[in-house]
Structure 1
């Protein structure tokens, strides 16, 4: 059983994500309100902590922002939201860490085109030590690589878990608390953006074009 989990960790993670999305879709369809937006809000209010935990496993700041807004409106408890989001972020990095620790062949095969990032992650770990576990959550393009690369080393699993947990709770608090505090101002901006969506269209096109260009450049680099 242990060998099966180790050899299929990537597929199991994909299966869990797929089941979660099916769960959300099913409950979104059955929500007893009209309109997609109202259904989504209903879903967040009803299963808020479950969604927040799962979203935090993938380390999505959008989930934390929604938690901050729901805490501001009174539909979530601020401290519980930080606690749950931190646990989700912790669980996500633990999955990545143990993927590297117990499934090295899968990592080398799956991330073959990202050897430079793994090399950089090892250099950062050797140079800065445990603080890199805190910093990696804010390093775009390295948030998955660093926990996996640490798992590939002989770094203590207990030490990583302890630092990772504190780091995850700090990450959750740093994101959720400002949104909760400035919730009213954020809601006003969101309402204005909803009513004047056409102003945001040029920015969305530029942002989307930048993402397409980025992945195009990355694909070219991998081919080389």
Structure 2
């Protein structure tokens, strides 16, 4: 079994890509067959029918939007809160494990294809050297570094079992921090969503400004940390 796993690991990136293509195809086919009318109703139906599968894959991509939806479905009773956290965490864990092994077994290919990301890789190595294992926790909240850090750790001799253990705990913490507040404030969020649906012409620019502000803040904060650590080294 170990020998089979060892042979599969170098192709983890390609397997991940094929898996995502199959998943998107499955979603498109399921949406087409959904016995309801309207794209919004179809998506809601799909989430209620295959919510945990979608949540797992969304967790692999580390998309907070999927976790927010899981929080709302948990609030409405269509999902179990603890199971949603468990599944989302497993998805986040699986995604970072794939990235880790891409770095571990495809070093030459990574360095060749991601040549334009060398500065970020250097920054990730410095973060790991300076802060050690806590960086595995914080990387999920660092804009533009979520994929780079697991891959860069895989490029080093960092113990794979230690990374897997910390990564799993980190993923469950990330899922909890995102899903629980949405579940708790579900009524308030639904009121806001209903208002946004009724006043979409106002909600869209507000969402763009708010979302853009968050991205800009985290991007600037990440660059500030990067510059400081680079100067210290």
The answer on 1:173 being equivalent to 2:146 is: no
Residue 38 (str. 1) matches residue 5 (str. 2): no
Post-superposition shift, 1:8? Answer: 4.0
Counterpart-to-counterpart distance in 2, 1:64 and 1:17: 18
Over residues 96-121 of structure 1, what are the superposed CA-to-partner deviations in whole Å (9 max), with x where a residue is unaligned? 00000011111111211000000000
Deviations 1:170-192 (CA, angstroms, capped at 9, x unpaired): 00000000000000000000000
What's 1:141 paired with?
144
Match of 1:94 among 91, 94, 97: 97
CA deviation digits over 1:27-70, x for unaligned, max 9?
11101111111110000000000000001000000000000000
Maintained 8 Å contact 2:93/2:171: yes
Cα offset for 1:201? 3.7
> CA separation of 1:161/1:4 partners in 2, compared to 1, >3 Å: closer, same or farther?
closer
1:202: Cα distance to partner? 3.3
Alpha-carbon deviation of 1:4?
A: 7.0
Q: CA RMSD in A?
A: 2.1
Contact kept, 8 Å, 2:10 with 2:101, in 1: the verdict is no
Pick aligned residue for 2:126 from 98, 123, 144:
123
* Deviation of the 1:159 alpha carbon: 0.3
Aligned equivalents of 2:78 and 2:100: distance in 1? 33
Alpha-carbon distance, 1:6 to partner: 4.8
1:184 equivalent in alignment to 2:196 = no
Name structure 2 gaps, 5 residues minimum.
Answer: 220-233
Following TM superposition, by how much is the alpha carbon of 1:2 offset from its aligned partner in structure 2, in angstroms? 6.8
1:195 to 189, 193, 198: 198
Deviations 1:68-104 (A, max 9, x none): 0000000000000000000000000000000000111
Worse overlay, 193-202 or 32-41: 193-202
Q: CA deviation at 1:9?
A: 3.5
Match of 1:81 in 2: 84
Q: Per the alignment, do residues 61 and 110 of structure 1 end up closer, same or farther by CA in structure 2, a change over 3 Å counting? A: same
CA distance in 1, matches of 2:209, 2:70: 28
In 2, distance between residues paired with 1:2 and 1:56? 23
The residue aligned with 1:217 is none
Which of 56, 60, 63 is residue 63 of structure 2 equivalent to? 60
**Structure 1 residue ranges, 4+ long, deviating more than 6 angstroms after superposition:** 1-4, 207-211
Question: In the alignment, what sits opposite 2:75?
Answer: 72
